[in-house]
Structure 1
Amino acid sequence: MLVADLLTSAQVVTPERVLAPGWLLVDGDRIAEVGEGAPPRSPDLDLDAATVVPGFVDLHVHGGGGASFDTGTADSALTVADAHLAHGTTSMAASLVTDTHDRMIDAVRELAELVRDGRLAGVHLEGPWLSPRRSGAHQPGSLSVPDPASVESLLAAGDGAVRMVTLAPELPGGIDAVRQLTNAGVVAAIGHTDATYDVTREALDAGARLGTHLFNAMRPLHHRDPGPVGALLESSADVELIADGVHLHPAVLRTVFAAKPGHCILVTDAMAAAGAPDGDYQLGPMAIEVRDGVARLADGTGNGAIAGSTLTMDAAVRYAVRTAGLPLLDVVHAASTAPARAWGLCDVGAIEPGRRADLVVLDADLDVVRVMRAGTCVSR
């Protein structure tokens, strides 16, 4: 069922400011008009004290609802997408962890079909070209160096569906791979890296324009050795942040938002347990234990490396606003507008005329009460 034409709400969050009160006119699957104050006529749907934000855009997610993208099957992928859609993510990447080359090729080919029909925004390869010293929850034996042929074969398998690749630029051939990806129109992201500051700067100069889950799985910032964190913070690159209270301290979130206004991107890095109970799961070929909502490599001690998250984007928004104390306008930009811009998704990510009517309605506690995708209610 299509949503009502004219919606009013206590707050409507646009890219520039929060309209209070605000209204918007939906024409089919598009936003036709947006305004502040009294609407031009009686609304078809008065959302009262709610806040309307653009549908969330998640560029880094591996799974959810008990399923994972790494299986490469359409059914699993749709389960993941539907699980996150209920939490307001209306555009999402299918992120793949390191696996054998052949299995990654097969998964990319299968997922590419869902990119072409619009269910997914694109494929993100997180590996296999990662640092063995910063591999995190990636199988060390499947890591490799990015030779031109292997890069090209994975991109070709997606036939345009691969939108982003995370790699460690210090690997042999790493800087050339950044150039190869950039020339192919793919976002080269720096992550799972032990690169020095100078090598990171070289990668940025070669075309890299995003940092994968900043601080996590990368050489740490030191006052005499700033490493990739220092290089990314002072650059114009976008940076991913996982706002779940496990990966980053709230003070770190505040610091990065202050240092890089407009260039912070909230991601979930969610694995299969997002929106699902604690238990034992797989992340690609790796066994994962989820206890008290925290995902770690299964090492028998409960203290294995963090292995993604069980986060959903609405929870990330709540944490960033209510715990870290960041302004709602900035947080919504990081959850919707900035990631859409980073991937060149001009159709989504903002409440403004001409964009697709992807909308999330939040209550006073920032909990999701309604989700609309392309003008249609998909959750309430």
Structure 2
Amino acid sequence: MTADLLLTGARVVDARRDLPDAWVRVHNGLIAEVGTGLAPRASERIDLGGATLTPGLIDLHVHGGGGHAFDDGTDAITAGVAAHRRHGTTATLVSLVSSPLDVLRRQLTHVAVARRSDPAILGVHLEGPCLSPARRGAHDPGALALPDGPVLDLVRDAEPGLVRQVTLAPELPGALDAITELTALGIRVAIGHTEADYALTREAIARGATLLTHALNAMPAIGHRLPGPVPAALEDDRVTLELILDGVHVHPAVARMLLTSAPRRVALITDAMAAAAHADGAYRLGELDVHVADGRALLDDGVTIAGSTLTLDRAVRAAIVDLGLAASDAVGAATSVPAAALGDPARGLLESGMRADLVAWDADWRVRKVWLSPSS
């Protein structure tokens, strides 16, 4: 990306606008102006020929891609993030599954090294190990732990700002106090892999939890007498609900209901494992064997879903084409909503002063080109 770049002939879409025949000027890696009509001068000018231009996509929950698992070391993290970047994801929260604490400590070091050279890596989402054994999904049962001193020490001892999000089950002993402590450290707490009922979910939110990890998966279903965690999250404007829109984890009709019930509060995620943007075959997720066939990842039991093979551009396309969402709403669910969930004011919109992480799409909502801002 040059220091002074003008992109013209674009349909400009973000969560707040859908402008035909518009232009965006970028200066020193930041968005300088957005408009229609007569465009300003710039040292480099690119006519997008009617392509759609959006902010870069932000994935709060992803475990790998391009054949690389994020728990396999620094090189695997860098390669996996690059694979997703080719599909429009310009900001990644590296997600780590439940592992023994010494293993997680080593993995945190690997992410810390990787993010020093890759501005697309926002930090770490610890999806575990403080999860319900009954709702563990594709997490190693031997690696689960209580949210007590050793787990909290792991987070406290990490490089400052590295751990951005922690998923835990609020019914575990000490979990509510852990939510209070983690939020005091500036870490986003997500409720997930849980048996929590409606009342306990409300209590966890009151203690500071602000996300629901892959809503509707690995938690009690919505019931007319036992509503469970999803309605508790839906009714509280402080909560962002993650959604895996791959047609496997959540039926499209239910996904549409979720998106329309909580406008601007549902974040599209991939929960992708190494097979995303790669081939079917045998993989590992943490310490567990995973088999991928027809793009569907399952544990060896042939039943338990083990993440997805989704890329975030496919989720945006599905929201628009399959669910009928307005383009600005679908794009917002993968840009401004996750940015707000992380408290990141520099990403997610096409506005002056924002990072110029940009994606150009064709008429069928397929990625044509990705720009990653060099701005730190």
TM-score, with length taken from structure 1: 0.95
SS in 1 for 2:125: strand
- Compute the displacement of 1:234 (Å): 1.0
Once residues 115 and 345 of structure 1 are traced to their aligned partners in structure 2, the CA distance between those partners, rounded to angstroms, is: 16
SS in 1 for 2:82: helix
Once residues 146 and 162 of structure 1 are traced to their aligned partners in structure 2, the CA distance between those partners, rounded to angstroms, is: 15
TM-score, with length taken from structure 2: 0.95
Counterpart in the other structure of 2:101: 101
Once residues 63 and 201 of structure 1 are traced to their aligned partners in structure 2, the CA distance between those partners, rounded to angstroms, is: 32
Matched, 1:267 2:269: yes
Q: Which runs of 5+ in 1 are unaligned?
A: none
Q: 1:293 aligns with which of 292, 295, 300?
A: 295
Amino acid corresponding to residue 269 of structure 1 in structure 2: D
Map Cα deviations across residues 266-311 of structure 1 (whole Å, 9 max, x no partner). Answer: 0000000001100000001110000000001122xxx321110000
Once residues 145 and 170 of structure 2 are traced to their aligned partners in structure 1, the CA distance between those partners, rounded to angstroms, is: 12
- Compute the displacement of 1:113 (Å): 2.5
Q: Which runs of 5+ in 2 are unaligned?
A: none
Counterpart in the other structure of 1:130: 131
2:21–2:50 Cα contact (<8 Å) kept: no
Q: 2:256 aligns with which of 242, 254, 257?
A: 254
Matched, 1:166 2:194: no
* 1:50-61 map, 5 Å: 50-61=51-62
Matched, 1:352 2:346: no
SS in 2 for 1:21: strand
- Compute the displacement of 1:344 (Å): 1.7
Counterpart in the other structure of 1:27: 27
Aligned-pair identity (%): 49
Counterpart in the other structure of 1:205: 206
Counterpart in the other structure of 1:226: 227
Matched, 1:181 2:182: yes
- Compute the displacement of 1:3 (Å): 7.7
Counterpart in the other structure of 1:6: 6
* 1:286-365 map, 5 Å: 286-299=288-301, 303-365=302-364
Greater shift after overlay, 139-148 or 176-185?
A: 139-148
| Paired positions, count | 372
SS in 2 for 1:304: coil
Once residues 181 and 36 of structure 2 are traced to their aligned partners in structure 1, the CA distance between those partners, rounded to angstroms, is: 46
- Compute the displacement of 1:4 (Å): 6.4
SS in 2 for 1:91: strand
Counterpart in the other structure of 2:15: 15
Once residues 258 and 291 of structure 2 are traced to their aligned partners in structure 1, the CA distance between those partners, rounded to angstroms, is: 30
1:14–1:352 Cα contact (<8 Å) kept: no
- Compute the displacement of 1:148 (Å): 3.2
Amino acid corresponding to residue 153 of structure 2 in structure 1: E
Greater shift after overlay, 344-353 or 166-175?
A: 344-353
Once residues 110 and 152 of structure 1 are traced to their aligned partners in structure 2, the CA distance between those partners, rounded to angstroms, is: 18
- Compute the displacement of 1:225 (Å): 0.4
Once residues 352 and 146 of structure 1 are traced to their aligned partners in structure 2, the CA distance between those partners, rounded to angstroms, is: 40
Once residues 153 and 57 of structure 1 are traced to their aligned partners in structure 2, the CA distance between those partners, rounded to angstroms, is: 26
- Compute the displacement of 1:41 (Å): 5.4
Counterpart in the other structure of 1:120: 121
2:356–2:373 Cα contact (<8 Å) kept: yes
Matched, 1:243 2:245: yes
Once residues 63 and 9 of structure 2 are traced to their aligned partners in structure 1, the CA distance between those partners, rounded to angstroms, is: 33
Amino acid corresponding to residue 265 of structure 1 in structure 2: A
Matched, 1:47 2:48: yes
- Compute the displacement of 1:356 (Å): 1.1
- Compute the displacement of 1:40 (Å): 3.7
Once residues 170 and 297 of structure 1 are traced to their aligned partners in structure 2, the CA distance between those partners, rounded to angstroms, is: 26
Once residues 170 and 9 of structure 2 are traced to their aligned partners in structure 1, the CA distance between those partners, rounded to angstroms, is: 46
Counterpart in the other structure of 1:216: 217
